Amino acid sequence: MQKKLLTLAVAGALGAPAVALAQVEVYGTIHMSLNYMDYGEGTLGAPSVTKFDVASHASNVGVRGRESLGGGLTAWFQVETNASMERSNNIAHTSNFASRNSAVGMQGGFGNVFVGQWTTPWADLDALWGVGTVATYGPITSIIGRRETTGSAPNPNCVNGGSGLGGNGVVCDSVEGGGGVGHPFWRRISNSIHYQSPVFGGLQVKVAYQTNQDKAEASPALPGTVTADPQMWSASVTWSGMGGRARIGAAFDGHKEFTTVGKTDDGWRVTGGFNFGFADVGAAYEEMTYKLAAGDCEAKQMGIGVAIPIGQGAIRASYSQADDLEGPAIGCAADNGAKQYNIGYDYRFSKRTTVGVGYATIENDPAAVFTWSGLSSSNNGASLNPPAGSDVSIFFVSMIHRF
């Protein structure tokens, strides 16, 4: 009712017929937590630090709408942006408009086709198994798929060109600084086209392609000489059955010139779960191959999670690990893996409001720098990344409100 009233009010303010906006909806999620964090000593002597923090976990506001075109066709759009509910004392956090899933598309009996910025089919598989996390302090925001990063996401286990300071020396998106793709396996992609098939017997296929808009040639004197042609693609197949209790999915990603010009990084993953009634269990396994000039660098991660319903809430717990990188390159040296544990309880007061409490910890190997997205500055009070080898622990109380 409130959303309909808002629609009518907007229509009136714009002087447009209310019926034109009858299917437009404003929505959002506010997700905050109070944290007590403990950063252990680093390998090279960085001191341990304990501190408090208030964090926002992908809080967002969006607007979306649909229009029936007849003949079974529907046009739709969505524009979603981050909501900066807090900022670090040393870094002002901003929210670019349409910074999250934002696109326009057409849907019908053929499926769903859309263009814009959206999570990849690879990343969508997290929904199949990520049942073991309270708030966001779990494997999906720390270990699984987090060997690299872009922008300000504080999870680099690599040295990214202009994007972060990893502990193991691997440059995972060096081409980004020169206008390359710069999108890790877990992140949403922009400048992209997506297709999602209809669901047949619980089976669905998704594919996505990020265009090579940053293709570059050497110079007018060397026509046809391409110096960079970055692009990427992602595809998945998922199945759900037994009333949604059983689910499984597999995905493959290819990232052309993500690490090295002229080479294509790739990866595959399998995730899934089963709801037994007394417990919902999920698991994931993935491998990525980064194509360095000195040779391939292999990354393997795995995780398991469980949710045990109790009353209107659930106990949630997860374990995940990242193995040491393997390969001939110097950056693939040993002792750069990590293990992550978390446990907590969340209570759903209503369809909109959930409160949770929990504990999570990451045990970093001497050369690893894993942490969770959204944490504040680490041991030195400035960088978002812990010093190499620093273990990270957190006690938290969180609240989620959806509207």
CATH classification at residue 24: 2.40.160.10
Question: What's the chain look like in SS3?
Answer: CHHHHHHHHHHHHHCCCHHHHCCEEEEEEEEEEEEEEEECCCCCCCCCEEEEEEEECCCEEEEEEEEEEECCEEEEEEEEEECCCCCCCCCCCCCCCCCCCEEEEEEECCEEEEEEEECCHHHHCHHHHCCCCCCCCCHHHCCCCCCCCCCCCCCCCCCCCCCCCCCCCCCCCHHHHHCCCCCCCCCCEEEEEEEECCCECCEEEEEEEECCCCCEECCCCCCCCEEECCEEEEEEEEEEECCCCEEEEEEEEEEECCCCCCCEEEEEEEEEEEECCCCEEEEEEEEEEEEECCEEEEEEEEEEEEEEEECCEEEEEEEEEECCCECCCHHHCCCCCEEEEEEEEEEECCCCEEEEEEEEEEEECCCCCCCCCCCCCCCCCCCCCCCCCCCEEEEEEEEEEEC
Q: How confident is the model at residue 99 (pLDDT cuts 50, 70, 90)?
A: confident
Q: How many structural domains are present in the chain?
A: 1
Confidence (pLDDT) at 144: 87
Return mean pLDDT, the chain: 82
Average pLDDT of 157-162? 43
pTM for the predicted model, two decimal places? 0.85
Average pLDDT of 91-97? 55
Confidence (pLDDT) at 225: 59
Confidence (pLDDT) at 160: 44
Average pLDDT of 252-266? 84
Domain that holds residue 195: 2-402
Average pLDDT of 144-153? 54
Average pLDDT of 217-242? 79
Confidence (pLDDT) at 127: 94
Q: How confident is the model at residue 218 (pLDDT cuts 50, 70, 90)?
A: low
Of 155-164, 222-231, 271-280, 377-386, the poorest mean pLDDT is in 155-164
Of 109-118, 236-245, 280-289, 290-299, the poorest mean pLDDT is in 290-299
**Does residue 2 register a pLDDT over 60?**
no
Of 121-135, 153-167, 225-239, the poorest mean pLDDT is in 153-167
Q: How confident is the model at residue 152 (pLDDT cuts 50, 70, 90)?
A: very low
**Does residue 81 register a pLDDT over 80?**
yes
Q: What percent of the chain has pLDDT over 70?
A: 78
Average pLDDT of 271-298? 91
Q: How confident is the model at residue 370 (pLDDT cuts 50, 70, 90)?
A: confident
**Does residue 167 register a pLDDT over 50?**
no
Q: How confident is the model at residue 378 (pLDDT cuts 50, 70, 90)?
A: confident
**pLDDT digits over 310-367, tens only?**
999 999 999 999 998 888 766 576 788 899 999 999 999 999 999 999 999 999 998 8
Q: How confident is the model at residue 161 (pLDDT cuts 50, 70, 90)?
A: very low
